[in-house]
């Protein structure tokens, strides 16, 4: 049993990356599609349109908060379990999985209660009062999405743990099953039953329930880590160790929420000052469009994070086994692949913005909707290759156990620069300042990332020399 994951230290790096990263990419893409599919169908429903799209944009950061807590638990446990298996420490491995299960359930119940109690002030804080119709749609969507938070958080927390147990394909399949159900039910609930925002949310929640049920089944049939009753007894010290490895994932997501809140409120404020979007019938357009642009960005970032997060078990095992040469090779291949993804994505958003916005119901909207969307795609996402490399560096450092270095870079990007620039640039450039905040933040973060990457390579080289001399 102890050697079940030993191939992580011997098999070719490229083959391991394909085996672990591809299912992880698909899992995250499918998870991203939950919200994106909702938005596509909402946008193409003539009785919802840009009002429903704007509402989706308002509620989206609140689902990211739930995701942030879930991935902190799941990614942290995944990294810790992988390191434990590399050291053949099966006791701490099974206890960390059990503790992660308990924490994810408890945290989801608390968050659901808070959301239900504080619905109006929360929606207001994220820009819900663009106009009355948008707020009405936001309330309806938010209520039903909130009821699914426990299932969503549990499924997302267990997904990386399932990967660390050596079953990346099952992790992918469980997420895919839920997303497929969501895609089937969305058009039925929205167009046939005409349930509006409630229909989109209920379809999403039913899909999340399927993913959670499959995760429960897997926990009863684990491979490398065998659970028993003692696994679920909380150990404070153990929880602290794996949560510290997941703190970067949490801050990456929660700081993204802060950036989205800043962007939403700046869009609402400066949109109201615009000669076109200051008019009641067009006031929801900037928020709806920015939400769509962020969803397209989320698709790209899901690929990027999937590639990096899929490598966590490989890195963790080889670090635990003192194989710095393999960790260095993996880092090089990962950075190259991430930059390539960024270039391809950049070409798509720069050359095909009209086609992209067309997917989200542009034919049902005014010309101002399409014009602003094209501009937003071309400016907001113009530094995608740098953004991809930044994300890869954050996650790889986390998998090395360098939680605080990874956290520093993530906080620099999302809070210091992401929020700061979103608040400052509009003072001089209005709505254009909001659009420019993201690429400028990516440029400045990339400079810091390069410095950390160089230091990491020097450390690898030193460890490799020591290993050869020994």
Q: Give this prediction's pTM.
A: 0.78
pLDDT digits (tens, 9 = 90+) for 343-370: 999 999 999 999 999 888 777 788 999 9
Task: Name the 3-class secondary structure at 275.
Answer: coil
Q: Kindly provide the residue ranges of all beta strands, DSSP E only, lying in 42-173, ordered along the sequence.
A: none
* Nearest CA among 301, 328, 302 for reference residue 315: 328
CB 41 within 8 A of CB 181: no
Task: Write the CB contacts of 294 (distance below 8 Å, at least 6 apart in sequence).
Answer: 57, 60, 260
Angle at 223 between CA 218 and CA 226, to 5 degrees: 85
| Residues in the chain with pLDDT values less than 50 | 1-2
Task: Give pLDDT, residue 1.
Answer: 39
Determine the longest span between alpha carbons in the chain, in angstroms.
Answer: 72
Q: Note the pLDDT of residue 203.
A: 95
Neighbours of 398 (CB within 10 A): 30
69-94 CB burial, b ≥16 within 10 A, e <16: bbbbbbbbbbbbbbbbbbbebbebbb
Cα separation, 108 vs 145, whole angstroms: 13
pLDDT of 2: 46
């Amino acid at each position: 049993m102890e050697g079940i994951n030993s191939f992580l230290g011997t098999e070719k790096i490229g083959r391991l990356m394909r085996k672990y990263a591809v299912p992880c990419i698909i899992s995250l893409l499918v998870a991203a599609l939950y919200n994106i599919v909702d938005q596509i169908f909402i946008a193409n429903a003539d009785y919802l349109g840009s009002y429903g799209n704007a509402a989706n944009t308002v509620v989206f950061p609140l689902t990211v908060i739930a995701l942030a807590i879930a991935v902190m638990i799941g990614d942290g446990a995944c990294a810790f379990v992988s390191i434990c298996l590399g050291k053949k420490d099966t006791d701490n491995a099974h206890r960390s999985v059990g503790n992660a299960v308990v924490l994810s359930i408890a945290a989801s119940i608390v968050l659901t209660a808070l959301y239900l109690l504080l619905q109006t002030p929360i929606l207001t804080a994220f820009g819900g009062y663009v106009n009355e119709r948008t707020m009405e749609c936001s309330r309806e969507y938010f209520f039903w999405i909130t009821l699914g938070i426990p299932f969503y958080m549990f499924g997302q927390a267990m997904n990386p743990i399932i990967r660390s147990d050596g079953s990346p394909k099952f992790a992918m399949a469980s997420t895919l099953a839920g997303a497929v159900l969501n895609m089937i039910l969305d058009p039925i609930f929205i167009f046939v039953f005409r349930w509006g925002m409630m229909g989109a949310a209920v379809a999403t929640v039913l899909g999340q329930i399927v993913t959670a049920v499959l995760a429960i089944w897997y926990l009863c049939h684990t491979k490398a880590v065998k659970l028993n009753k003692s696994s679920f007894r909380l150990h404070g010290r153990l929880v602290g160790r794996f949560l510290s490895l997941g703190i970067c994932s949490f801050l990456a997501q929660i700081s993204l929420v802060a950036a989205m809140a800043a962007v939403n409120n700046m869009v609402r404020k400066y949109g109201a000052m615009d000669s076109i979007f200051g008019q009641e019938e067009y006031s929801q357009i900037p928020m709806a469009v920015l939400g769509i642009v962020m969803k397209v960005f989320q698709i790209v970032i899901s690929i990027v994070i999937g590639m990096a997060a899929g490598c966590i078990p490989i890195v963790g095992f080889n670090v635990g086994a003192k194989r710095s040469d393999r960790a260095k090779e993996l880092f090089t291949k990962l950075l190259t692949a991430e930059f390539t993804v960024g270039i391809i994505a950049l070409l798509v958003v720069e050359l095909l913005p009209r086609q992209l916005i067309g997917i989200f119901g542009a034919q049902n909207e005014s010309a101002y909707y399409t014009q602003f969307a094209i501009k937003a795609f071309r400016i907001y996402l113009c530094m995608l290759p740098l953004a991809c490399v930044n994300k890869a560096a954050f996650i790889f450092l986390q998998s090395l156990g360098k939680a605080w270095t990874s956290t520093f870079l993530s906080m620099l990007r999302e809070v210091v620069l992401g929020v700061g620039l979103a608040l400052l640039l509009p003072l001089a450039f209005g709505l254009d300042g909001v659009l420019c905040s993201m690429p400028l933040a990516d440029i400045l973060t990339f400079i810091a990332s390069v410095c950390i990457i160089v230091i990491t390579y020097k450390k690898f080289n030193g460890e490799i020399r020591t290993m050869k001399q020994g």
